Chains A and B, each alone.
Chain A
Amino acid sequence: NAGVTQTPKFRVLKTGQSMTLLCAQDMNHEYMYWYRQDPGMGLRLIHYSVGEGTTAKGEVPDGYNVSRLKKQNFLLGLESAAPSQTSVYFCASSSWSPQETQYFGPGTRLLVL
């Protein structure tokens, strides 16, 4: 049972480049989330999804887009990376709400030069 997996683990981008982070869960969870973790700031919600085909903005959505075409996958896109997007990105899922246990992936470390 893999739980929540994220691809890639680490990436270096130049300013203006684009990339997609992939999150996959095998627990049949309805809710999925993308967070970013910055030093001294805890985790902040970027976007979330309450089911296949749905997405919604979180606390810090600017500069990111997401898609949930399949229930088990949640993609986070950066169309034009900026140094301010240097961070560690975590994907999480929960069965039906964030009040239930959220299961986190191992994270993707992104450096934008």
Chain B
Amino acid sequence: GDSVTQMEGPVTLSEEAFLTINCTYTATGYPSLFWYVQYPGEGLQLLLKATKADDKGSNKGFEATYRKETTSFHLEKGSVQVSDSAVYFCALVYTGGFKTIFGAGTRLFVKA
């Protein structure tokens, strides 16, 4: 079946470090891919998305590229801040589908 696999956390970084959170997916078709972020005590918020192969989603310094050949959608940021501490979820949705498949989430801690 379709699935999303994320790197296990927690990931702990110092402020201004480079961030990569790996996400790979298994899908029979061509889904849209998403990164959602969950700050402590809050619901999820859309961070960025990409709807087709080679698309790059970007927002707030974060970016991810839809790689069909490696079935990946890795999240990157060049310089993290303490305020980026949160849980990050990779997800996929098929065109015309009703179900979002979420990864297990990766917790990020950024130290000052």
- B contact residues, range: 20 to 34
Q: Given the complex of chains A and B, what is the CA–CA distance between A107 and B38 in angstroms?
A: 11
Q: Which residue of A lies closest to B100 (CB)?
A: A98
Q: How many residues of A contact B (CB 8 A)?
A: 24
The answer, yes or no, to whether B89 is at the interface (CB within 8 Å) is yes
Q: How many A-B residue pairs have CB under 8 A?
A: 56
Contact of A56 among B49, B89, B98 (CB under 8 A): B98
The answer, yes or no, to whether B29 is at the interface (CB within 8 Å) is no
Q: Given the complex of chains A and B, what is the CA–CA distance between A94 and B98 in angstroms?
A: 11
Interfacial chain A residues near B46, Cβ < 8 Å: 101-102
Contact A104 B104 (CB under 8 A): no
Q: Given the complex of chains A and B, what is the CA–CA distance between A104 and B41 in angstroms?
A: 12
- For the complex of A and B, the 10 pairs showing the least CB-CB separation, nearest first, are A104-B43, A42-B102, A104-B44, A43-B102, A101-B46, A42-B104, A98-B93, A98-B100, A99-B93, A106-B43
Binding site for A on B (CB under 8 A): 4, 32, 36, 41-46, 49, 51, 89, 93, 95-100, 102-105
Binding site for B on A (CB under 8 A): 4, 33, 40-45, 48, 50, 56, 58-59, 90, 92, 97-99, 101-102, 104-107
